Amino acid sequence: MEARRYYSGPDRSALVQGIHESRQKFAEVTQQFIDDYLNSKGLKRMILGHNEQLTINASFGGKIISADVAIDESGKSAQGLLISGDKLYRCLADGTKQEVE
């Protein structure tokens, strides 16, 4: 896996662009692999972009966050990710927020 960009936030989250593979390849990735990789980098979670989803979502026990949401022409499908302490929120275009679980 080769990432195009890597950012580490002050809360030890990582944002990596360009490494998200198709869901079919996730069968090869285990929770242990994710845990070992994040621990080796001193990170709590990894945030992935450039992998359009219908909604911001979490996988692998909340350690992998897919945050790139496809935006329709109206803009109503837009979402943003808010990290507040250990909680993650999906912020919607109408101003509401939902906890990402």
Q: How many domains does the chain have?
A: 1
What sections of the chain are H helices per DSSP? 31-41
For the chain of 101 residues, list the mean pLDDT of each consecutive stretch of 10.
49 52 57 92 90 90 92 92 94 96 87
What residues make up the domain containing 47? 5-99
The two tokens of residue 88 are 């993650």
Does this model's pTM top 0.85? My answer is no
pLDDT of residue 28: 73
The two tokens of residue 27 are 């069968």
